[in-house]
Structure 1
Amino acid sequence: MKKTLLLAGAVLALTAGPALAKKQLVIVVKGLDNPFFEAINQGCQKWNKENAASEYECFYTGPASTSDEAGEAQIVQDMLGKADTAAIAISPSNAKLIAQTLKTAKPTVPVMTLDADLAAEDSALRKTYLGTDNYLMGFRIGEYIKKAKPKGGTICLIEGNPGADNILRRAQGTRDALTGQKGLTALKGEGGWTEVAGCPVFTNDDGAKGVQAMTDILAANPKLDAFAIEGGWPLFGAPQPYRDLFKPLASRIASNDFVVSAADTIGDEVAIAREGLVTALVGQRPFEMGYKAPSVMVNLVTGKPVEDPVFTGLDECTKDTVDTCIQK
């Protein structure tokens, strides 16, 4: 009897054939070492669970480090060369490099950007952008600083990769909000604001490097009035060193004598706001990005209309709103 059952099972298996491989909806992020991108991955995996019967699967990848711009470009090239890639969503660490990679690869599948976009002149290389309105995000970071110190002062912008379009857009928004002018690449007294020597600082998304940079800037400028942190890396990537640096300044932060306005609301950031060690947080919604991206890619593959851009909104937190500021 056992032999008969086994034989029947084998015949059934041969008849059914191997399970068909799913078409891949690829998400390529700047680096796997960043908790922000892990939230995107969690959204991607939730989509997979909810769409288990789909012929498509969300596949999350990226270089080990956010500082590996060439590695990200190579992964994009590799993914575009795979037969099972149905569409790709890219968060470009270096917008120009990814644009050149796409020009060289001449992809035959839909391409979109996620979290970070290509430069405006390269936007035709992708179908849509899904993520934060980065200019608005930076503008709101600047508005919190301006509200706290309406007469202006000295400031330092903390940025990430110098080639990352999303960070450059945030920095532009911050400068525009502070000055009431558009397009300034450095502040030299406009609107009462001056960027101190050595700023902006580019940290390559490294939290510890960001905290060290702020330590050095404060040492050289003990009367500094504000930091605009265009990505939350120092807070979520090096939370204890960040706390150690700003605890002695807590009373100045509380009185708006010193202002720290920062991006993101992940990891320890909301707790740091509750502790009064940051004036305001302007947060993104990375989980929503990862959850929505596969559906957008399916629409692109199947020829359904997709808006450009698709914005995912902001969450804004201060010490007084930390219990209700995050979208549920």
Structure 2
Amino acid sequence: MKIASMCMAAIGGLALFASTAFADDKTLALVVKGLDNPYFDLMHQGCDRANKELKGQGFTCYYTGPATAADESAEVQIIDDLLTKGVAAMAISPSNAPAVAEVLRRRHLSIPIITADADLLPKDASLRKAYVGTDNYELGQKLAEQLKALMPKGGNICLVMGNPAAENINQRAQGTRDALGGKKGITKLNGENNWHEISACPLYSNDDAAKANQMMQDTLTANATGLDAFVLEGGWPLFAPQAYSQVVTPIMDKISSGKFVIISADTLAPEIQALKDHKVNALVGQRPEEMGYQAAMVMRDLAQGKTVKTIIHTGLDTCTWQNADTCLKH
């Protein structure tokens, strides 16, 4: 569906639409957690790439989301508004998985819904036709693999998380803990295989780069000798390069020598630069541009009544100091 006359403004964190109607039923809506996160800019690029193919078919991939990922209620409101206005299909990256499931269940949907980047809780999976994105449990495992390679004897660690209700981040943390601890279902590492999560952690940044960096700084200050590594389940601190540099500058010698380790998810440009500058030890990256593209194509297929795979994983890239120049060349 093409949008006849639609503009969006952020007022009090809620997206309000100037138009109350759409021209037809060919819009494929991609709703992300927050427009302030550079990670989602890449999903936007994927949506734009899809539009080059969709143009001749009458469909349009429309990218939107709340002004900030911290505003969970704004994302729910946007979803509700789009469902009222009418779209051909919708792809959602839920910031708060239970809250998104609640609005989908309440609306008794007649259009296909998929999730992209982040999924609903397993108990709510029937509300969506497909999930397009990362195998988040595997991503967490790969973060753990990189940490174990650099710290084979274990150590005291701190996980940096996003929103407590974000299912994709929780899955990553579970993968990290299970891979380090050597068994399934670990809620917090407490000596398994000599890995310990310090009492102050995990840190919940609510996808806010400034907050993530401040929390890391405070944790380092409070645990000057009792912390050996950070595992960033999302790349939020590195999305703010200047603030992140201020955090790690005092411990650069330790990072370079392997006495302190930082492993992070995602491979955005500032993260790759931090890797090349040895400010982070390793990255495990998702492919958000591909997610945006695939989400649009899956929505198109569903809108046309076609059958699609229920789970579509878009792959991962592991980047280290050794392959920083080539790790993203697929």
TM-score (normalizing by structure 2): 0.91
1:22 CA drift (Å): 5.9
2:77 corresponds, among 74, 82, 85, to 74
2:116 is aligned to: 114
Aligned equivalents of 2:280 and 2:187: distance in 1? 25
2:232 corresponds, among 204, 229, 232, to 229
Q: Deviation per CA, 1:151-208, whole angstroms, max 9, x where unpaired?
A: 1111100000000000000000110111111111111111111111220010000111
1:97 is aligned to: 99
1:203 is aligned to: 205
2:12 is aligned to: none
2:186 is aligned to: 184
Q: Deviation per CA, 1:100-135, whole angstroms, max 9, x where unpaired?
A: 111101110000000000011110110110001111
Instruction: Give the SS at the match of 1:158.
Output: strand
Aligned equivalents of 1:225 and 1:104: distance in 2? 46
1:144 CA drift (Å): 0.9
The code of the aligned residue for 2:141 comes to F
Instruction: Give the SS at the match of 1:123.
Output: helix
The code of the aligned residue for 1:290 comes to G
1:215 is aligned to: 217
Q: Deviation per CA, 1:231-287, whole angstroms, max 9, x where unpaired?
A: 001001x11111122133222222221110001011310010001111100011111
Aligned equivalents of 2:84 and 2:217: distance in 1? 45
2:304 is aligned to: 302
Any stretches of 5+ residues in structure 2 without a counterpart? 1-22
The code of the aligned residue for 1:27 comes to L
1:64 matched to 2:67: yes
> Which stretch of structure 1 is more off in the superposition, 201-210 or 20-29?
20-29
1:144 corresponds, among 128, 143, 146, to 146
Aligned equivalents of 1:192 and 1:33: distance in 2? 38
Could you say what the CA RMSD is over the residues aligned between the two structures, in angstroms?
A: 1.2
Do 2:25 and 2:88's aligned partners in 1 also have CA atoms closer than 8 Å?
no
Aligned equivalents of 1:267 and 1:162: distance in 2? 26
Instruction: Give the SS at the match of 1:163.
Output: coil
1:159 is aligned to: 161
Aligned equivalents of 1:32 and 1:305: distance in 2? 31
The code of the aligned residue for 1:270 comes to I
The code of the aligned residue for 1:53 comes to G
TM-score (normalizing by structure 1): 0.91
Number of aligned residue pairs: give it: 307
1:21 CA drift (Å): 4.2
Aligned equivalents of 2:254 and 2:169: distance in 1? 27
Instruction: Give the SS at the match of 1:30.
Output: coil
Instruction: Give the SS at the match of 1:50.
Output: helix
Aligned equivalents of 1:305 and 1:88: distance in 2? 16
Do 1:252 and 1:258's aligned partners in 2 also have CA atoms closer than 8 Å?
yes
The code of the aligned residue for 2:200 comes to G
Do 2:212 and 2:237's aligned partners in 1 also have CA atoms closer than 8 Å?
yes
Do 1:22 and 1:57's aligned partners in 2 also have CA atoms closer than 8 Å?
no
1:52 CA drift (Å): 1.8
1:251 is aligned to: 253
1:268 is aligned to: 270
Aligned equivalents of 1:270 and 1:317: distance in 2? 8
1:49 is aligned to: 52
The code of the aligned residue for 2:65 comes to G
2:136 is aligned to: 134
Any stretches of 5+ residues in structure 1 without a counterpart? 1-19
Larger radius of gyration: 1
Aligned equivalents of 1:296 and 1:50: distance in 2? 13
Aligned equivalents of 2:53 and 2:90: distance in 1? 20
Aligned equivalents of 2:127 and 2:215: distance in 1? 35
Aligned equivalents of 1:142 and 1:208: distance in 2? 25
Query: How much identity, in percent, do the aligned residues show?
Result: 51
Change (3 A) 1:128 1:327: farther
The code of the aligned residue for 2:115 comes to T
